[in-house]
Amino acid sequence: MNKSIDVTEVWKHQGYLTDLTIFSSHEIQKYRELFDEMEKSEGQETAEIGFHNRHFESEFIWRLSTSPKILGHVQSLIGSNVLLLGTHFFCKYPSDLRGEKFIAWHQDVTYWGLEPPLAITAWLAIDDVDRENGCMRVIPKSHKQGILQHGKSDIKGNLLSINQEVSPNSFSGQQPIDLTLKAGQMSIHHGLLIHGSNPNTSNRRRCGLAIRFIPSKVKQIKRNSLGKFYKAILISGEDHYHHFPQQQVPFLK
Ligand SMILES: O=C(O)CCC(=O)C(=O)O
């Protein structure tokens, strides 16, 4: 008998979903070319982790972040009243080009100042991502432990904003899962799920767009780790709470 998998149950249990095909290789190529242009004009140093919240200025990032296919998955997990909290490209270059860069184990919401600490991230592969070029890795079920204490990483090259790291003791004995994806595929992770990624040991770039979403009931009660308040924008349903100042939709349909 072919038992159908209940995605919501998998999400609740594991804290992530993966292998979600959003764009065909032809469609994602168009977006990759637009990213390549941005990278060329601003340089690799900025492209690595410096493209924060560019969806307000760059139409292709807005279109990607509000794509109905992505939103459909998000709505099925957090309901129909959704705010786009932020966008961030994570672009890891081959280690011999820009040094051994990695993302230390962490939970996203720890330093975002949200109350309740509830957010999800859709991570869209712009390039093919695999073990060699440092795909994202997650600790299944770790979102059930609540917010964990983070320290500082001792290893040079952590791309996180304040060099934060959750101690590996928090998940000792649990095997990380590598989220390998083809360009145009996506994973989604819970804001409390422990995740990170290894250095890029290949000779290929590894670029992904992290798109952060919150349900409208969430507010920001203090500044995030970059000392900022988010410019969250309603992208689906209604906002009965008005916790964030209203934002102008940057690009019309
Ligand atoms: O791109 C990576 O390797 C990590 C991304 C990440 O930490 C995130 O999206 O929250």
Q: Which pLDDT value is given to residue 167?
A: 87
253 within a domain of the structure (yes/no): no
Please count the structural domains in the chain.
Answer: 1
101 within a domain of the structure (yes/no): yes
* Residues contacting residue 223 through CB under 8 Å, at least 6 positions apart: 113, 229
Q: Which pLDDT value is given to residue 161?
A: 82
Query: Environment class of residue 240 by beta-carbon count within 10 Å: exposed (0-12), middle (13-18) or buried (19+)?
Result: exposed
Residue keyed to tokens 């767009």: 209
Residue-range definition of the domain harbouring residue 42: 7-236
Over the chain (253 residues), what is each successive 10-residue block's mean pLDDT? 74 97 98 98 96 97 97 97 98 88 95 96 98 98 93 90 88 92 98 97 97 98 94 97 96 87
CATH number at residue 34: 2.60.120.620
188 within a domain of the structure (yes/no): yes
Ligand 1 atom nearest 195 alpha carbon = 7
Q: Which pLDDT value is given to residue 1?
A: 45
65 within a domain of the structure (yes/no): yes
Take atom 1 of ligand 1 and give the residue whose Cα is closest.
90
CB neighbour burial string for 79-98, b if at least 16 within 10 angstroms, e if fewer: eebbbbbbbbbbbbbbbeee
Q: Which pLDDT value is given to residue 35?
A: 98
Q: Which pLDDT value is given to residue 96?
A: 81
Q: How far is the CA of 222 from the centre of ligand 1 (A)?
A: 22
Q: Is any atom of ligand 1 closer than 6 Å to the C-beta of 236?
A: no
Q: How far is the CA of 89 from the centre of ligand 1 (A)?
A: 9
83 within a domain of the structure (yes/no): yes
Q: Which pLDDT value is given to residue 81?
A: 98
